[in-house]
Amino acid sequence: MSIQIAKSQKLHYKFLYKFKLAIFLNVVLFIPQFIRRVIYRNKRYKVFYPYYTSYTHPYIKERMYGKNAPVNWCTLNSANLIHSLQIPPANSNGKCLLIEPNDQILTLGGYFGALNPKQCLEKIPEIKNLLSNDLLKGILIGNDGLYDQFRYYFGDEYLRKLIIFPMMRCLPKYTVDNFKKKILQNNKKCDFLFLASSFEIKAVKLVIDAWRMSPPINSTLYLVCNDIPVSYLDILSNIKSVKVIKQIPVNPKVKKKLFEICSVSIAVTHIDGGGNAYEGIEYGHAIITNNFHRGRYLISNNNGIEVSFKNKFYEPGKYGISWNSFEEYLAIVNKDIEDGFYDNSVKDISEAINLLNSNREKLNLMRINSIEYAYKESIKESNKALRNIYKRVLEC
């Protein structure tokens, strides 16, 4: 989400949205998609997936459309099945439905008008009615914390509606054998990549403080972030081992080069994330993440290190109760940082960085595990799973 927010802050996007011109841009994007779906729609699997717009997350746009789509998507009217991202279209009545909540399980509340966490909680009875509907064939999730969220809010009655599939949709950049040769040939330096689309949301302050605490020997941190406060830019200007790139979204060629030269992706967050870690995994990076609801999923192949943060935005029992917006939540996080409740997190990030920099055997094992994980969570495996799910739903 934060990458979409960062994109919307760019001058030309502000201009488009201020003068309502984004509507026309989305129409322009819509036309070729509509034509393609009409002409090339799959006769076997008549599945509708939302049209992409100027606001679509770039990771989703790259991996769910065109040659990477699991099937040739058809139009809404001709579809027998709707694969909906986040919430289903309003005019989906009478059609079979699969919903991929993406951010968190209570995203489903948005279908009933929920605009904030408290309203999502209030919509739980309506979500349960949706779950009981025979036309809803399944809720698509990765092997992550959404399963536990589902059980917490809805109990076990509708667990049969949960369908776990390879959600990362990686494009592995090396074969496992070639990657093993690559890391043996280039075993001299361990550089770290932190693609942070938001200084505040992505916990950039904690990572900078961790790096400063004990700078790893002969390593560079490539920090890609466009909204670092001036006070921290001044600090970073005196740290030669940190290279700041302010471009968001970063140029694809630059991004590719960064993934190629680095060995570790830092993927910590105060709220949500994953896309940059998925890309790191497909390049064979070890992952440093934290205990948010996707953290374990990112490193479930023993391919990284998880550090603990005090707060989790989507934590059941606190989401919509202790805070009702990003702003309220981040205010609590920042107060806890000031009061020292994240000091151990900074220390743990620093230790993770130095462990991976100093222990090449552990680093290389994690990197190999990431490449192997990328194949398990590849677009190929994901598409195979999705086609089997579509087939099962449409033939039942």
Sketch out the chain's domains with CATH numbers: 2-169+379-395 (no CATH), 176-376 (3.40.50.2000)
Instruction: Evaluate whether 248 touches 226 at the Cβ level (below 8 Å).
Output: yes
* Cross-strand partners of 139: 99, 162
Amino acid 12: pLDDT: 46
Would you call 305 helix, strand, or coil by DSSP? Answer: strand
Which residues neighbour 385 within 8 Å (Cβ) at sequence distance 6 or greater? 165, 166
Would you call 155 helix, strand, or coil by DSSP? Answer: coil
Report the DSSP pairing between strands 136-141 and 221-224. Answer: unpaired
Amino acid 33: pLDDT: 76
| Euclidean distance between CA atoms 1 and 201, whole angstroms | 10
- Residue 90 vs residues 26, 82, 131: alpha-carbon distances, Å: 18, 12, 16
Question: Among 273, 328, 264, which Cα is nearest to 1's?
Answer: 273
Instruction: Evaluate whether 169 touches 378 at the Cβ level (below 8 Å).
Output: yes
- Residue 306 vs residues 4, 84, 218, 293, 364: alpha-carbon distances, Å: 25, 31, 23, 12, 17
Amino acid 248: pLDDT: 74
* Cross-strand partners of 100: 85
| Euclidean distance between CA atoms 165 and 276, whole angstroms | 19
42 DSSP 8-state letter: -
pTM: 0.90
Q: In terms of DSSP H, where are the helices of the chain?
A: 2-8, 11-18, 22-40, 58-63, 117-122, 124-132, 146-154, 176-185, 204-213, 230-236, 252-261, 275-282, 295-298, 326-338, 343-358, 360-376, 379-395
Residue for token digits 């699991």? 70
Instruction: Evaluate whether 267 touches 280 at the Cβ level (below 8 Å).
Output: yes
* Cross-strand partners of 162: 139
What is the amino acid identity at position 199?
A: F
Amino acid 378: pLDDT: 98
Amino acid 26: pLDDT: 65
Question: Among 313, 381, 365, which Cα is nearest to 168's?
Answer: 381
| Euclidean distance between CA atoms 193 and 186, whole angstroms | 17
Amino acid 28: pLDDT: 66
Q: Is 148 left (phi over 0), alpha (psi -120 to 50) or beta?
A: alpha
Neighbours of 159 (CB within 10 A): 13
Instruction: Evaluate whether 98 touches 394 at the Cβ level (below 8 Å).
Output: no
Residue 319 phi/psi, 5-degree rounding, is -60, 125
Neighbours of 278 (CB within 10 A): 25
Report the DSSP pairing between strands 136-141 and 304-307. Answer: unpaired
| Residue 286 structure tokens | 């070890």
Could you read off the pLDDT tens digit of each residue along the chain, which spans 396 residues? 444 444 445 544 444 455 455 566 666 677 777 776 776 666 677 999 998 887 788 889 999 999 999 999 998 888 999 999 988 887 777 899 999 998 899 999 999 999 999 999 999 999 999 999 999 999 999 999 999 999 999 999 999 999 999 999 999 999 999 999 988 877 778 999 999 989 999 999 999 999 999 999 999 999 999 999 999 999 999 999 999 999 877 889 999 999 999 999 999 999 998 889 999 999 999 999 999 999 999 999 999 999 999 999 999 999 999 999 999 999 999 999 999 999 999 999 999 999 999 999 999 999 999 999 999 999 999 999 999 999 999 987
Neighbours of 90 (CB within 10 A): 7
Residue for token digits 């290190």? 305
| Euclidean distance between CA atoms 249 and 262, whole angstroms | 18
Question: Among 101, 106, 137, 140, which Cα is nearest to 123's?
Answer: 106
Amino acid 27: pLDDT: 64
Instruction: Evaluate whether 192 touches 222 at the Cβ level (below 8 Å).
Output: yes
